[in-house]
Structure 1
Amino acid sequence: MAAVEFALALPVLVGLTMGGAEAANMAYTSQKLGDIATMSADSISRIRLSISNGDVTDALGGIKILGDPISLRNNGRIIVSSIAPVLDASGNVTNQKLRWQRCSGALVKNSAFETTENTNLGAAGIGPTGRKIAATKGSEMIFVEVYYTYKPLISSSFFGTPQMSAYAAMAVRERTANDLLTSGTNSPCTTYAA
């Protein structure tokens, strides 16, 4: 009798165990993407004095190493945008401008918000509707988008292969020149490579 009950319960227990493992992996991946977005924004906002293509590429190279456990290089995309306030003649912030944008990762995905450099974004700034963020007067902001196509641990029959995303923003600190210098290796958003 016990053997029959065990045989009947085993498929349910195995299914629950595998589903739980897949849910835990998805939660881990989501947390990892949030960490990568935050660390990218923080690292690039901390580059002092001036910033160049090479500085951004080096920072993204280091961040991609953190994404290796989830194969972010091949299945993801990091989009870094520099946001500057636009001032009127009286010195009041009236708009926000996408100053420059750089990308890394093989996933073919563009920014969900804006992709044209030197474009005004509106006074509310950049980000998802209802959660936009803007740079303050006398400051600039680094806004990071991370996109990732989820790769299942066990099977796509549990949750599929959803597109996951994370956003983060940090104010630029100790940098007086925010125009992106052309020195170093560029990471244009028209290139999709690991």
Structure 2
Amino acid sequence: MTTRKFLDRFAGVRRLKRDSEGVALIEFAFSLPILLALIFGGLETANYALAHLRVSQIAMTVADNAGRVDTAIDEANIQEVFAGAALVGNSIDFTQNGRIVLSSLQPNNQTGSDEGQMINWQRCMGQLTSITPSYGVEGDGRTDDSLELGMGPTGNKITSADGTAVMFVEVTYNYQPLLPTFGILGTRQIRYESAFTVRDRTNQNITNTQGLTVSSC
């Protein structure tokens, strides 16, 4: 190899070292997975927070609306309450992936050792039928003190006062991730409970004047 050829080749190597074309593209390619993870992770987290908000709203809305029905309560009223819940949860597909348990908790009017609370009636809504009532089913406590302390988790049980009732609501939802393939948050279950005292209703027994299908649990 002649000296000139060697110098030409050496100069070419030096030019190659100084060439910065494509460096930015390579750096972007390396940083893209991290950037995408941050973007999709942020979106997924925001969606998860929104799902929590919606489920909490459903629990409060159902308990509040059921407690507002005055004079007497009918299956038609229950369907209206559940229709409102479905509307609140429409953006998270709640009806397909959630379950509402609405219980009417009230004194069992027993005396002595059998005195306590009872679940006078109970209605459910949502296709997540694997979820069952956590604190009792319709009729529990009617003739005994099995619900003497009321409904709710240990240390935070709720009871109803004489002459009225409490609308106790359990809401469960299987979170639906935006990107299930990536499994950033995966399948998570969201649960909220709420309770409102009945306002002006004097008759706590549920009727079915129109012969509607009962939303039983």
TM-score above 0.5, yes or no: yes
Match of 2:67 in 1: 45
Match of 1:104 in 2: 125
Instruction: Give the TM-score of the pair, scaled to structure 2.
Output: 0.79
Q: Select the structure that is richer in strand.
A: 1
Partner-residue secondary structure (3-state), 1:37: helix
**Match of 1:29, as an amino acid?**
A
C-alpha displacement of 1:89? 4.7
Cα root mean square deviation, aligned: 2.0
Percent of residue pairs bearing the same amino acid type: 33
User: Which of the numbers 9, 27, 30 marks the counterpart of 2:52?
Assistant: 30
C-alpha displacement of 1:126? 0.8
Which whole-Å CA distance do the structure 2 matches of 1:96 and 1:18 have between them? 48
User: Which of the numbers 56, 59, 66 marks the counterpart of 2:88?
Assistant: 66
- Give structure 1 stretches of 5+ with no counterpart: none
Match of 1:113 in 2: 135
* 1:142-186 deviation per Cα after TM superposition (whole angstroms, max 9, x unaligned): 011111111111225111112221111000001000011122324
Partner-residue secondary structure (3-state), 1:148: strand
1:143 to 1:154, Cα distance in 2 relative to 1, 3 A: same
1:131 to 1:2, Cα distance in 2 relative to 1, 3 A: farther
C-alpha displacement of 1:42? 0.5
Which whole-Å CA distance do the structure 2 matches of 1:36 and 1:76 have between them? 11
- Give structure 2 stretches of 5+ with no counterpart: 1-22
* Number of residue equivalences: 187
Partner-residue secondary structure (3-state), 1:178: coil
**Which structure has the larger Rg over C-alpha atoms?**
2
Partner-residue secondary structure (3-state), 1:23: helix
User: Which of the numbers 132, 141, 154 marks the counterpart of 2:157?
Assistant: 132
Q: Is the 8 A contact 1:57 1:186 kept in 2?
A: no
Which whole-Å CA distance do the structure 1 matches of 2:166 and 2:61 have between them? 14
Instruction: Give the TM-score of the pair, scaled to structure 1.
Output: 0.87
User: Which of the numbers 167, 175, 185 marks the counterpart of 2:201?
Assistant: 175
User: Which of the numbers 106, 109, 115 marks the counterpart of 1:84?
Assistant: 106
Match of 1:148 in 2: 173
Q: Is the 8 A contact 2:164 2:201 kept in 1?
A: no
C-alpha displacement of 1:2? 4.2
Match of 1:10 in 2: 32
* 1:112-165 deviation per Cα after TM superposition (whole angstroms, max 9, x unaligned): 2212x2212523211223322111233210011111111111225111112221
Match of 1:165 in 2: 191
Q: Select the structure that is richer in helix.
A: 2
Partner-residue secondary structure (3-state), 2:205: strand
Higher RCO, 1 vs 2 (CA within 8 Å, ≥6 residues apart): 1
